[in-house]
Amino acid sequence: MPWQNNEDGEESGRNGENGKRRNPWGMPGGSQGGGQGSGQGKEPSSGPRNPWGEPTGPRGGNEGRPRGNGAPDFDDFIRRSQERLRGLGGNQGGGGGRGGGRSAPNIPWGLIGGGLAVILLASTSAYQVGAGERGVVTRFGQYSSTSNPGFHLKLPAPIDQVTKVRFEDIRTTLIGTVDGENENLMITGDGNVISIAYAVRWRIKNAEDFLFQVADPEATVRDATESAMREIIGRSTLNNAIGPERAAIAEQVRERVQEILDSYRAGVLIQGVDINKADPPNAVDEAFKDVSAAQQDAQQFLNQARAYAQQIQAQAAGATAAFDKVYEEYRLAPEVTRKRMYLETMENVLGKVDTTVIETPGVQAYLPLPEIQRRNRAAQAEEAQR
């Protein structure tokens, strides 16, 4: 060995060398064994040293011997580190060698792990469903049940999973634009082209069907509504589509869309369809407006003609009723009624002329009725001024 141990010291003592041999680093060394071999009974101040500058012990190592010159004892350091590691694992480590080691506290890892597991299970086993929601529970990815609003329990994750859906929210899907940038053109039943924009209002009817029967419910609603609208418009005329039949067409579309979605089991309830725009395409819009204005003028003239006809008919009916009354009176007293009719007729005729000729014996043939009337009006005006 490159350095001497105690046995070498003892051997050197017995050989009479008094432990004054030098190690390979040129340092003088002695040993406890050398002292004993010489019979002096004293413990030498130092023994043979190892390459780290520490004296060797009776075991040929560094354990159990005092340090030399304050140099570190690496074997003791490694032993203490091992004891500390054993103490962290739940075993108490005793101090070995000169310095010893203090015992590490026992940590209840099992109890801590059990508590964390209980908390995790409790947090994933309880869930709350809010108002207007439905909780769809899946077990290993397969539909299990549907929960109403309230507090519920389930198997812990990842066995059971809950998906909450807004059950009562009214959703709106717009198809086409009102401003005309993206025209949604359709062909009517009379071969005309119409640009139409509309909106469909819907909500969830069945939560599990809504989640699992169709991949994209909103796109399904859009496609079904557009298909139904094209079908209904294809059976209607242009005038009906842009005029008085618009509300009826919207109701027919709603019923048809509901039938399509029910056949898909989409879990969707159609609340209504609103037609926001139904006009001719932009390319012919100006011409169509001229035609529409001419139709409105024609309709206005027809309405005026109907009003005049009704007025004439009312006057004729009144005249007929008056004649019937006169005829009844004539049947009761023909002579008196005939004379009365004559006088009333002459009054209506002569009241509009200025000259009156009367051919009656003893009566002046000419009466200046206009002059008399003028004088009478002048006299009345003077009296009014007074």
Q: Kindly tell me the burial class for residue 359, based on how many C-beta atoms sit within 10 Å of its own C-beta (0-12, 13-18, 19 or more).
A: exposed
Q: Which amino acid is at 237?
A: T
Structure confidence by residue, pLDDT tens digits, 303-330: 999 999 999 999 999 999 988 888 888 8
More confident position, 32 or 200: 200
Judged by DSSP in three states, 255 sits in helix
> Using 50, 70 and 90 to split pLDDT, how confident is the model at 182?
confident
Q: Is the CB of residue 101 less than 8 Å from the CB of residue 93?
A: yes
Cα–Cα dist 293/245, whole Å: 20
Judged by DSSP in three states, 115 sits in helix
Q: Is the CB of residue 29 less than 8 Å from the CB of residue 51?
A: no
Closest to 10 measured CA to CA, from 31, 25, 29: 31
Sign of CA dihedral 207, 209, 212, 217: negative
Chain centre distance of CA 25: 85
Mean pLDDT of 219-248: 90
Give exposure, 76-94, as e/b (b: 16+ Cβ within 10 Å).
beebbeebeeebeeeeebe
pLDDT of residue 47 exceeding 70: no
Cα–Cα dist 129/207, whole Å: 13
Judged by DSSP in three states, 46 sits in coil
User: What are the tokens at 73?
Assistant: 């004892």
More confident position, 158 or 18: 158
Cα–Cα dist 302/295, whole Å: 10
Question: Looking at residue 49, what DSSP letter applies?
Answer: B
Judged by DSSP in three states, 325 sits in helix
Domains of the chain plus CATH, in order, are 1-72 (no CATH), 112-166 (no CATH), 171-280 (3.30.479.30), 309-381 (no CATH)
Cα–Cα dist 193/181, whole Å: 17
DSSP result, 88-106: HTT-PPPP-TTT--PPPPP
Question: Looking at residue 284, what DSSP letter applies?
Answer: G
Cα–Cα dist 33/41, whole Å: 10
User: What are the tokens at 75?
Assistant: 């074997």
Judged by DSSP in three states, 337 sits in helix
Q: What is the mean pLDDT of the chain?
A: 76
Q: Kindly tell me the burial class for residue 295, based on how many C-beta atoms sit within 10 Å of its own C-beta (0-12, 13-18, 19 or more).
A: exposed
Q: Is the CB of residue 280 less than 8 Å from the CB of residue 193?
A: yes
Cα–Cα dist 302/199, whole Å: 37
Q: Across the chain, where does the E strand assignment appear? A: 126-129, 133-139, 142-147, 150-153, 160-166, 171-175, 185-187, 193-204, 268-279, 356-357, 366-367
pLDDT of residue 70 exceeding 60: no
pLDDT of residue 341 exceeding 70: yes
Q: Is the CB of residue 249 less than 8 Å from the CB of residue 242?
A: no
Closest to 278 measured CA to CA, from 252, 239, 242: 242
Structure confidence by residue, pLDDT tens digits, 73-113: 677 877 777 777 666 555 444 444 444 445 555 667 777 77
Structure confidence by residue, pLDDT tens digits, 354-375: 666 666 677 666 666 677 778 8
